[in-house]
Amino acid sequence: MFKFAFDLEDEDIDFEINSVIKDTANIQIQSKSSSGEHGEYLERPAISDGEFSELSMEHLLGALPTQLSFSPLEIDVSLSSSAAGARQTHHIARRDLFDARFQVMSEDKSDPGVDVEADDKSRTDTNDSIDAPSDPRLEFLNTPSDLVPGVYEGGLKTWECSLDLVNYLHSSLKDEDIASKRILELGCGTGVPSLYLLQRIFSRPPPDPTSPKTTIHFQDYNTSVLELVTFPNVLLSWYMSPASEPFLSSQPASSDSETDDVVEYPTKDPALAGDLPITPSLKSAFERSLETFNLEIKFLGGSWKSFRNAMVNSIHDSETQVEHTENTSIKGVLGAYDILLTSETIYRTESVPELLDTMWVATHSSTSVPSQPITDQLAKMAIDEKQKPLILVAAKVFYFGVGGGIDEFVEATKQWRSDGTTEVTSVWQQNIGVGRRIVRVFW
C-alpha cells in the first residue's frame, strides 16, 4: 500500500477496501481555487461532489501544474484468454500521489506553512508537517484508502480489480472492437482500464477523418479525483504513445517562450519514472491529437443518480434536437455506450440498485421524456439486439467489513428486472487469496 512516508517499494495498489465511516458533518466539499500554469489562480466550478458536472478540457488543462511526476504501473497480462497461456508485463504511466498532494498544498494559500517553492526533496519531507489541512482534499490524499460514503469514494487509489480488467481486455478485445465505439468507465478513479484502451487507440495510425468518433467517458463521484489524477493520467498515456511523436520531433529541446528556459522532455517509456514539463505547446499538441485521432474524451463528476438523470436528459434532448440551455453542464450526448467498464464499485450493497439503474440507462436509448418517473423511463428504454453492449464488472468475491461482493451483485442484478431477461456470466476468475472475478452483464 502507498504510504505518505514516500516508501515506494510497494506498488500504489490497494488489495483491500477499508470503508472508514467518518463524521461527514465536519468534512467540507472543496471549492477552492487552483493554480494555473504560471501561478495565476483559476476559479473551480461551484459544484459539490455528488452533483453532476462535466469538467471542460479548458478547465482541466488550465488546472495542471507546471510539471507532473509519474511512476510506472506494472500489470501482468495474459496473451490469450487461457489462464495458462503466455504472459507479459504491461506498463502504464501514472501520476504520483505525492505530486498531487504537493499541488494541492501549493494551491492552499490559506496555509502559511506551505513553501510552494520547495524542491522535490522537500516534497517528501513535508508530508507529515500539516496536522489539520485547510483544504479537505489533503485529508483524502493523506489517507486515500479510507472511504467516506457520499463524500470520498476511494478514487485516488488504484484498486486491484482494475488490473484484472486490463488483463481481460488485453486478451479478449481486438483493435476493431474499440475503434469508433462509445466507452464509459463508471467509478473510474485513476482510470487504469480506460487508460489501457486509450494506449491502444493512440498506438495505431489515425483513423479516417470521416469515420465515427471513438468516445471514452470517465465518470467518478469526486470531481477532484478527475482533476488531480484521472486527467493527468490521460495526458501521460498520450505522451507515452506514438501519438505524441510529431510534437516531440518538432521540438527536441525547445525553449519555453514564457521563460526562455530549455525544456527537456522525459524518455517516452512508461516503464520508467520521471517528470513531464507541462508547457503550452504540449497542451496544444494533446488537443490536436484528439482531433487527429477523431477521439472524444469527457470527464464526468457526481453520483450515479445524478449521472443517470443527466444521461436521460441528454438522450432526450438529442433525439428531439432540443438545444441545451446555458445553465446545463451537459455538453454533447451522454449514454448509448457500446462498452461499459467498472471495477471495485460494488463494495456497498446499498449502492448496487443505483449502479444498476445507471448501467441500464448508459447502455440503452430512450424515447421517453425526462418528466416521467424514472421507473417509467427505464421500462421504455431499448437496446440494439444486433450489437449488445459489452458490460464488464470486476470485483472481489467478498468485501470484508463492508458487506458487498460479486455474488451479492450477481443476485441483485438477476432480481433487478422481474422479466428474467437479465443474465450475468463469469468471464474471468482468480481463486488464490481473496477471490476476484469479472462478470459480464447481458440485458
pLDDT in tens, 153-164: 788 889 999 999
pLDDT for 2 beyond 80: no
Q: What pLDDT was estimated at residue 380?
A: 53
Go through 21-40 and write b for each residue having 16 or more CB atoms within 10 A of its CB, e for each that does not. Answer: eeeeeeeebbebebbebeee
What is the domain extent for residue 215?
Answer: 33-442
247 falls within a domain: yes
Confidence bin at 365 (pLDDT 50/70/90): confident
Confidence bin at 341 (pLDDT 50/70/90): very high
Q: Which three three-digit cell numbers place residue 13?
A: 495498489
Which of 121, 358, 140 has its CA nearest to residue 229? Answer: 140
341 falls within a domain: yes
pLDDT for 325 beyond 50: no
Q: What pLDDT was estimated at residue 401?
A: 77
4 falls within a domain: no
11 falls within a domain: no
288 falls within a domain: yes
Most confident stretch, 102-111, 120-129, 426-435: 426-435
- For the chain, what is the mean pLDDT? 79
Percent of the chain with pLDDT over 70: 70
Q: 429: domain CATH number? A: 3.40.50.150
Helix (H) or strand (E) holding 60: helix 57-62
pLDDT for 106 beyond 70: yes
**List of residues 6+ apart from 73 with CB closer than 8 A:** 11, 12, 13, 91, 92, 93, 94, 158, 192
The model carries a pTM of 0.81
Strands (DSSP E) contained in 109-224 are 158-159, 182-186, 214-220
Residue 83 CA to residue 428 CA, distance in Å, equals: 9
Total domains in the fold of the chain: 1
pLDDT in tens, 78-104: 876 555 568 899 999 999 999 999 999
268 falls within a domain: yes
pLDDT in tens, 259-317: 556 789 999 999 999 999 999 999 999 999 999 999 999 999 999 999 999 998 886 66
293 falls within a domain: yes
Residue 264 CA to residue 246 CA, distance in Å, equals: 16
Q: What pLDDT was estimated at residue 81?
A: 57
Q: What pLDDT was estimated at residue 316?
A: 60
User: What is the layout of strands, in order, in the sheet containing 274-277?
Assistant: 87-95, 67-78, 274-277
260 falls within a domain: yes
pLDDT in tens, 134-193: 677 887 787 776 677 777 778 888 999 999 999 999 999 999 999 999 999 999 999 999
